[in-house]
Amino acid sequence: MKRPRKQTGMATWLASLMIISMPVLAQTDLDRLTELEAKTTAMAEELAILRAELEAARQEEPESELEALRSEVAVATQTAQRAEKSANEWKNTSAVTHISGYAAAGFTSEKNGTDSFDLVNFNPIFHFQYGDLVMWESELEVRVADNGETEVGLEYSAINIFLNDYVAFVAGKFISPLGNFRQNVHPAWINKLPSAPSGFGHDGAAPSAEVGFQLRGGMTFGEQSRFTYAAYIGNGPKLEGVGGELHGIETGGFAGDKDDEKIIGGRISFLPVPKLELGFSGAFGDAAVVENDGLDLVDDPSRAYTVLGADLMYRWNNFGFLGEYIQQDIADNASSLIPMGGKWESWYLQSAYRFAATKWEGVLRYTDYTSPHPDESQEQWTLGVNYLLTPNSALKVAYEVNDGLAGAETDNNRWLLQVAYGY
């Protein structure tokens, strides 16, 4: 019977223990619960904050990208605008600088003479323009002389002031406006033959250049007709005596006037239809011999100097026709050291035909040049064939039949080859 009493006591002890310990256990769970609730609340708050931040970040991030994109676009736009401005600014400048000109190389085979590569010319032309009001243009002539030296000359250098639509004022050294060949045809890429007509080169019958003032321009009237004009005043030519007679009339254009006599002249041309031009030239004044046998001559009396010329140009389809007459006349003066004057005159007719749909062109020219010096006078036939490489370049072959003073260079026939380029 002791055993049941012992078991009953154990049970009673356990029950007492449970009863005693139950409030302690209940208190611990409550704390934990409270702690958990607090933690949960904190976590919920943190989550809310994170969500808010996430939402804010989601809202902010696209805006910043857009802003960055906008900034990039703005930079790119500015860059493009600067590039466009740079690309187009040359079109909108007030001032323009430009170089053009022409060059030629040639070979001459002369009967009773030598065969030689005798021509290397380089003629750059510089244009300096301001708006539509002013342009200064200059042409240099650079050439290799037969002694190997390089010769440089100033063909012209003048300012052109466009006073209105019909008048340009020119001051400086300019190509003589007398006649047509010197001012319009002589550049190698324009001249259809390798040589100039006799008397139309330097110091022949046609004046080359002048230093002074000039007014020139043109106007239209009717449907197709036009009129051009040029009027100038300049220092005029220099006369030189050699061996007691006039050697020639130097008309290269001089920035000085030893005889203090000016020349007044000009040219008018009329074009009843666009392809036909008729020109008339004249210049008048006094000139004096300023050099004799290489020595300066002072106070030699002046004598009358006259230039007269007429020219014709006509084009019809592939056919082109040129004709010109010009003369320079120096009057006699009995009180001069060289009393005898003289007349230098020349004329030529030229026709050219470009064979249709080809680059070949045939040219025929007749020239008759008369000088006071018999060894300079010459009658000349020139037949040429050109191959037009481009609109501004040509290969030219020509044969001159020359009739001059027997034994003189002007009596020798010549083959001429030339390559000319206008740039």
Least distance to other proteins from the beta carbon of 277, Å? 7
Find the shortest distance in angstroms from Cβ 167 to other proteins. Answer: 5
Cα 155–159–165 angle (5° rounding)?
120
232 binds other proteins (CB under 8 A): yes
Among 96, 152, 337, 389, binds other proteins (CB under 8 A): 96
Tell me if 281 contacts other proteins by CB under 8 A. no
CA angle 325, 420, 183 (to 5 degrees): 30
The verdict on 316 binding other proteins (CB under 8 A) reads: no
Q: How far is the CB of 113 from other proteins (least distance, A)?
A: 31
Query: Which CB sits closer to other proteins, 302 or 346?
Result: 302
Footprint on residues 251-280 left by other proteins (CB under 8 A)? 260-264, 269, 274-275, 277
Measured CA to CA in angstroms, residue 218 lies from 18, 37, 224, 398 at distances of 133, 106, 13, 35
Whichever of 320 and 404 has its CB closer to other proteins, that residue is 320
Q: Which of 178, 160, 162, 157 is nearest to 170 (CA)?
A: 160
Least distance from other proteins to the Cβ atom of residue 165, Å:
3
100 is an interface residue for other proteins by CB under 8 A: yes
Q: Which DSSP symbol is given to 97?
A: E
CB 279 within 8 A of CB 180: yes
Contact region with other proteins (CB under 8 A), list: 141-149, 181-189, 362-370, 398-406? 181-189
Looking at 105, 107, 110, 127, which residue binds other proteins (CB under 8 A)? Answer: 127
Report how far residue 5's alpha carbon sits from residue 2's, in angstroms, rounded to the nearest whole number. 5
Q: Which amino acid is at 132?
A: D
Minimal CA–CA distance to 232: which of 207, 202, 197?
A: 207
- Tell me whether residue 314 or residue 381 sits nearer to other proteins (CB atom): 314
Nearer to other proteins, 34 or 318 (CB): 318
Question: What is the Cα Rg of the chain in Å?
Answer: 48
H, E, C per residue of 101-113: EEEEEEEEEECCC
The residue from 164, 294, 298, 335 that contacts other proteins (CB under 8 A) is: 164
Spatial contact of 82 and 392, defined as CB atoms under 8 Å apart? no
Nearer to other proteins, 213 or 415 (CB): 213
Nearer to other proteins, 15 or 219 (CB): 219
CB 236 within 8 A of CB 256: no
Q: Is 385 in the site for other proteins (CB under 8 A)?
A: no
Residue 168 as a binder of other proteins (CB under 8 A): the answer is yes
Residues 6+ apart with CB under 8 A from 422: 100, 101, 102, 187, 188, 189, 190, 392, 393
Q: Give just the sign of the alpha carbon dihedral 49, 52, 54, 57.
A: negative
Q: Between β-strands 238-242 and 289-292, what pairing exists: parallel, antiparallel or unpaired?
A: parallel
| Amino acid of residue 16 | S
Residue 276 host element (H or E): strand 276-287
Q: 192-221 mask for other proteins (x: CB under 8 A)?
A: --------------------xxxxxxxxx-
Which CB, 156 or 344, lies closer to other proteins?
156
Applying the rule CB under 8 A, the residues between 328 and 357 that interact with other proteins are none
User: Residue 379's closest CA among 411, 350, 353?
Assistant: 411
The helix/strand/coil state of 272 is: strand
Contact with other proteins (CB under 8 A): which of 121, 129, 371, 410? 129
Judged by CB, which is closer to other proteins: 397, or 408?
A: 397
Residue 315 vs 343, nearer CB to other proteins: 315
> Rounded to the nearest 5 degrees, what angle is found at the Cα of 399, between the Cα atoms of 393 and 405?
130
Contact partners, residue 62, CB within 8 Å, separation at least 6:
none
- Nearer CB in complex with other proteins: 216/303: 216
Choose which of 105, 142, 190, 340 interacts with other proteins (CB under 8 A): 190
Size of the site for other proteins (CB under 8 A): 64
What minimum distance in Å lies between the beta carbon of 228 and other proteins? 3
> Which residues neighbour 118 within 8 Å (Cβ) at sequence distance 6 or greater?
106, 107, 108, 146
| Binding flags for other proteins, 133-162, as an x/- string (CB under 8 A) | x-x-x----------------------xxx
CB 207 within 8 A of CB 199: no
C-beta of 215 vs 349, nearer to other proteins: 215
Which residue ranges make up the site for other proteins (CB under 8 A)?
A: 90-91, 93, 96-98, 100, 125, 127, 129, 131-133, 135, 137, 160-170, 183-185, 189-190, 212-220, 224, 226, 228-233, 260-264, 269, 274-275, 277, 285, 313, 315, 388, 391-392, 422
